A and B are shown apart, each in its own frame.
Chain A
Amino acid sequence: MDRLKTLMDWFDVRLGVREILRSNLQGYLLPRHVNIWYSLGAVLLALFTLQFLSGILLLVYYLPAADKAFVSVERIMNAVPYGWLIRTLHMVGSNIIVAVLLLHLLSVLFMGAYKKPRELTWLSGFGLFNLSLILCLTGYLLPWSQLSFWATTVATDAAGAVPWIGEGLVTFLRGSPSVGAGTLGRFFALHVVAFPLLFLGLVGFHLFCVRRAGISVPPFGPSARPAGVGTTFQHEVHRDGIPFFPNYTVKELAVVMFVLAGLVAITVFAPALFLPPDALEPADPFTTPDHIKPEWYFLWAYQTLKIFPSKLMGLAAQGGAMTLLALLPFLDRGEERRPFHRPLFLTLYGLGILLLLGLSIWGHRS
C-alpha cells in the first residue's frame, strides 16, 4: 500500500496526476437524472476494445492472400485451439456494435443532445458511425468466402453509378477490374491498419468533445434545460450532480456486463446467426450464388437502390438522407430539447424509424 502511495507521489509531483484523476473521476459531476441511455457510449468503448483484441488475435493466424485466406480462416475455426471463440466473438461483436451504435445514435437524437453546443460531438459520432460500417464492409471480404466475394462485388459496383468517374472509381476501389487478389490486399490494409487508426483518432476527438462540453441534462422533468451557447466557452457543470466515478461508472459497467452476456450467448448458442450458408463456401469468381443478401444493417440501403429507377438516383437519395442527418445540428437550431415539446421533430423521428424498419423488412423479404 505504502509503495503504491510512493509511486503515486512520484508521478503526482511531476505530472499532477491526482488532480487529473480527481477532476475527471470523483470531481466530474454528471446530471443527477442521467439515464440508462447515457451508458451506451461506454458499452461501445468496451465492445470496440474487445473487437480490437480479437482482431489482433485473428491476425496471428489469418493469411491475407486470395488462395490462402479461406483456408486460414477454416483453420482458425477448426484447428487452432479456441480459434472458433476468437473468430465468432469478432464476427458476432461487429453485429452487436452496429446495433448498439444505432441505439446510441437514436437516443442522442431523441434527447436532442446533438444541439448546440454539442454539434461537433454529433459530427464526430456520425463519422464514427460511417467508419464502423466501412470497417464491417472491409472486414467482410477477408474470409474470402462466396459471401465475401459477391457482397464486395455488389457493394463496390454501386460506386459505378457516380457520373463520369464511376467506372474508374470501381476499378480503383477494387484494385482491378473485378474483385480479386488486389481487392483483398487493399481491403486488408484498410481494415486492420488504416481505418482502425483513423477510428482511434476520431474516438479520441469524440470523447474530448463529450468531456469539454459536459454531459447534457436529460430533457425530461423539471430539471430540463434548453440548448444554447453563450459568447464564451462554458463547460456545462452540474453542481448537485453525481460523481462520474464510482457512482455512475458502476451503472455503466452493469450495462456492459449485460451486453457481454448477450454476446457470449449468441457466440455459443447461435454461432450461425450472422453466418449465412454462403459464408461457408470458398470464393468462386465464376459462380454467383443464388440469393445473396447484405447483412441486416445494410438492407435498407440495398432496398433503396432497388426502388429507384436508376442507381444514381438511389445513391443520391441515400447520400442526401445521410448528409441531412449529419448536418442536423446546423439545420435544427431551436433551443427546445424536450421531445414532447417538439411535435414536428418527434413525428419525423418516428416516421424515419418506421421507414428504415420498413425498407429493411422489405429488403429482407424481397
Chain B
Amino acid sequence: MKRGVLASLTLLLATVMPLTAAYAESTSASGEAAAAETVCLQCHGGQAGRLGAPVSPWRQSIHAKNGISCHDCHGGDPADFAQAMSPERGFLDVPAAAAIADFCGRCHVGVREDYLASAHGRARERGPHCVTCHGSHTVQAATLELINAKDCSRCHEFGRAGQIKEAVAAVDARILAVERDIAAMHRIGFATRELQDELFNLRNAFHRLFHTVDVNKVRKETEDFSRQLDFLDGKIAALHAELQWRQLVGSGVILLLLAAGVLLLLLRKTYADEERGRKEE
C-alpha cells in the first residue's frame, strides 16, 4: 500500500519536475547574431586595409542595429560568393560625390528632397553631402551635436549654422523629453505605440527641416513643431493624471485595509483578554 503511494508520487514528480525545473540554460543569441552573416561580411570581415575597414564601424552603427546590411545600400547578391559583386545582381560601388544624396535618398526620401533644394544641395559638386556630416559606415542616430563649429567651419563660418542650431535646440530637447516620457509610460504597461508613431513622424519631419539650411524657414516651422509637441505632451499628461488617480485611490484602499487589520488585531486582543481571564479562574 505504502509502496504504491510512493511509486505514484515519484511518477508525479518525474512528470512535474521537467516543468518546474524549467527555464533551462540562458539563450544568449543576441539580435545581431540573428541578423544573417552575409557573404559580404564573411569576405570583407577578414580583409585588411580599405576593403575590410567598413565592417567593424558598421557593426556599431544605427544601420546595423536596425538590420540594414551591406547589400541594402550596395546591392549585389548577399547569398552568392561568386556573383556577390556582379553589376547584373545590382551591385553598386562607392557613389560619386554628387550622387551620394541619391544613394542615401533611396531610403531617406524626404531629407533628400529638402537637401537637394538647399544651398548645401545646390553646391553638392564641392559642398557637403550626407556623409560629410553623418559619416558613412559609422552612421549613428542623428543628434544636435552634428551641427558644431568645428565641422561647419571646415567650409564656412559657423554664424548661420549656429543660428539654426539655436532655433531647433528647444524643439530637439523637447522631442528627447517626450521620447523619455513615452518610454516611461510604456515601461509600466501603457500601450504607447500610437504616441511612438506620432513622435516618429514628427521627428522625421523635423529632421528634414534642418536640411533646408534656411534660417527663416527653420525659425518659422519650429513653432509648428512646438504646437504638435504640445499636443503629445497633453496626451502624456493625461496618462500621468490617470496614474496619479490610481495611486491616490490605491493609497486610500491600502489605508482602509491596514485599518481593518489593526481593528482585527484589537478585536483579537479582546478575545485574548477573555481567554486569559478564563484560565486564571
Q: Are A and B in direct contact (Cβ within 8 Å)?
A: yes
Could you name 21 residue pairs across A and B whose Cβ atoms are closer than 8 Å? A77-B190, A78-B191, A123-B9, A154-B24, A155-B24, A173-B19, A250-B264, A253-B264, A254-B265, A255-B261, A257-B257, A257-B264, A258-B258, A264-B257, A268-B251, A271-B188, A298-B23, A301-B20, A305-B23, A314-B24, A315-B17
A288 part of interface (Cβ distance < 8 Å): yes
Q: Is the CB of A130 within 8 A of B16?
A: yes
* Bound Cα distance from A325 to B18, whole angstroms: 16
Instruction: Add 15 more A-B contacts to A268-B247, A323-B9 (CB < 8 A).
Output: A88-B189, A158-B23, A254-B262, A257-B264, A268-B249, A268-B250, A269-B250, A280-B187, A292-B27, A298-B20, A302-B26, A305-B24, A319-B17, A322-B17, A330-B6
Q: How far is the CB of A18 from chain B (nearest CB, A)?
A: 22
Identify the closest chain B residue to A158 (Cβ). B24
A275 to chain B, nearest CB (A): 6
Q: A residues within 8 A CB of B275?
A: 32, 242, 247
CB of A302 within 8 A of CB of B22, answer yes
**CA distance in complex: A253, B262 (Å):** 10
Chain B interface residue number, banded: 35 or more
Question: Contact between A302 and B24 (Cβ–Cβ < 8 Å)?
Answer: yes
Check A159 for interface membership: any CB of B closer than 8 A.
Answer: yes
Among B29-37, B98-106, B224-232, the stretch that binds chain A is B29-37
List B contacts of A301 (CB < 8 A).
20-23
Majority-rule SS of A interface residues: helix
CB < 8 Å neighbour of A280 from B20, B27, B189, B246: B189
A156 surroundings in chain B (CB, below 8 A): 19
A326 is an interface residue with CB less than 8 A from chain B: yes
Judged by a CB distance under 8 angstroms, whether A353 is at the interface is no
Contact between chains at B21 and A158 (CB < 8 Å) = yes
A130 to B247, CA, bound (A): 34
- Counting chain B CB atoms within 10 Å of each CB, which of A242, A261, A292 scores highest? A261
Known contacts: A158-B22, A287-B34. The answer to whether A250 contacts B267 by CB under 8 A is yes
Instruction: Give CA–CA (A251, B261) in the complex, Å.
Output: 9
Q: How many whole Å from A5's CB to the nearest CB in chain B? A: 25
Determine if A250 and B189 form an interchain contact, defined as CB atoms under 8 angstroms apart: no
Query: Do residues B268 and A154 form an inter-chain contact, with CB atoms below 8 A?
Result: no
